[in-house]
Structure 1
Amino acid sequence: MTFNTLEDAAKFYKNYAKAASFSTRVRSTNKKRNVIKNQLITCSREGKWKLKISPTEKTNPSAGLNCPARIYIHILKDDGVWIISKVMLHHSHSCCPNQAEMLKQHRKLSMSVRRTIENNEKAGIRPSKTYQSFVAAAGGYRDLNFIEKDVRNYITREVRNILELDDAKEFGKYLLRMKEKNQNFFFELELEDDQSIQLAFWSDARSRAACEYFGDVISFDTTYNTNRYNLVCGSFVRVNHHGQSTLLGCALMKNEDIQSFIWLFQCWLRCMGGKAPKGILTDQCASMQRAIEACMPTTIHCWCIWHIMKKILGKINGFKGHIKIEQERSHVV
């Protein structure tokens, strides 16, 4: 068989795989001068491999069964067309045509299904409820060519990525609403040119009141990162008279440079009436240290013992007697 393009040949074999109830994958592609010359497409169960998760821990374990089914496609130099030169149709595993549409490669969401998912997500309907509505409309699970995981993946990869462009504006509106509810709520927000968050700081009325009583020594920590937006999350914490940690303020930062920390500590001082703490505990960050010296020169800056102890193991592992040193250190602590 001949095809005008490599994509047409791969699409033909994919349609055949759906009819025969198996999925495919590109095993190898050979190029010459950055131009594809031939390609090997095999059954997805080709090769000898096994998941690290044991069958007892995974409800649907899968493994490579060294399946020989494959096609070999190459281009003819003279005609410029693609030809299937080698074919192997036999499989080392059983195929179930009734379940072909539920294989990952063949599952798909139609345009109408995608539009319904987008509308339900905007309305705040949970993905599980959205999927159940499709099941009810189709008359059963077997009449759908997608599963609930496909709905969740589409929301994560497509819908929420589109909405992220407006998330910074919505975050600013939320802070304004909090300010309207309580005038003692404090916040400052700076956005990039693309309307993404660069710097943000906020503290509610309860936190500001707690700082007046327990703000003589505070701890500032930036060891947390947000997963979706890749922003550093910082927190100001103080221990109250009951020995409990009390949150005094939060911050989001795009960069951990000196100017960002200076902006943040200046916001902290404005929020707390210009009263600098007597002492502050932080990580061993040079940028943070220089910002504290510039904004709060009278504040005693100390390194947090938790960060120090966490880094000691990596520092002493190079010594021959690191085990003995670690034992002596544990007795000291």
Structure 2
Amino acid sequence: MWSTQPLGEVNDIDNDDDENETEPTNAFTQYDRCSIIGKKFNSSDDAYTFYNEYGLFKGFGIRRHYYNKHTATNEIYRQVFVCNKQGYKNAKRMKNDGKPRCIKRTGCKATLQVTLSTLGTWVVDKFLDDHNHPLDDPSRAPQQWSHKVFHRTKECRDLVTLLSKTGVRPSEITKIVNVYKGDQDDKLTRVQCSSIINGERKTNLGKECHGIIMHFQPKAATDKDCYFAMDLNADGTFRSVFWADGRSRSSFNQFGDVVVFDVTYKTNKFSLPFAPFVGVNHHNQTILFGGALLENETESTFTWLFEHFLKSCFGTSSTITYSSIVIVLEDG
């Protein structure tokens, strides 16, 4: 029997899910409160999908409200889904700028609760279907947040990720994707686009070092004078990297009388300062002595960089020292 007292830890979610929903059918006409109570699902996500399709058919949107966990095992055993007009807006979070705000929440009590059974299935043990607000017309229901599913599809995520990797900004990605899709009722928003990009970066966090090593490893195999070094955080994530191939190191030995060091460039994706060491050869052509991607422009980062730059000079340039480089930087 359902109890209003939580048996474990309660976690407030109060946001939209990221699972894909399917189109509703008029099969929901057969459902009433008695037929939904006791309905079983293989997962809580299946229960969410069912309730969202039910809401689309009826004319309201939904969201995840909270879940309960067993304190001993930390296992989720209960999920509660509510109408998106449940509760009231927190007055402290509303901007006090004198502009009228649209009140979207009405304290609606419509709820679907599922609990994990001993058989491993999720069972509906609470269902309230009384709304204190008018339901949307079926033609307008797809505009509810939980029914806008394009940004959750693999097609959209892959396209956003691809454009982001090429250096396109989120605002431009949003425009490109919406033109490509052509659906005026379910557009990708700037917030959704940024969420997809941030999620992809979190997924790839810590993998940058592997990518860098895989890039330089074959170069080191074919170029015995190739030099590269990486600076890592305590957790093994990337901070800075310096590299100089054999040709660059040889060029420095011949034309290293004057070295220009500049950190005014930044990469598009992570905004890491790009620091090239360049000079001029006997044809007045610009040549590269080495390059680096830096975490920041602090003294400790520059110290690490110059130490490795000097190591890459074959130890033949006795006139260039770390202290002289520091003096040049301090003087402007």
- TM-score bracket for this pair, using the shorter chain length: 0.3 to 0.5
Q: Give TM-score scaled by structure 2 length.
A: 0.48
Higher relative contact order (CA 8 A, sep 6+): 2
Structure in which a larger fraction of residues adopt helix: 1
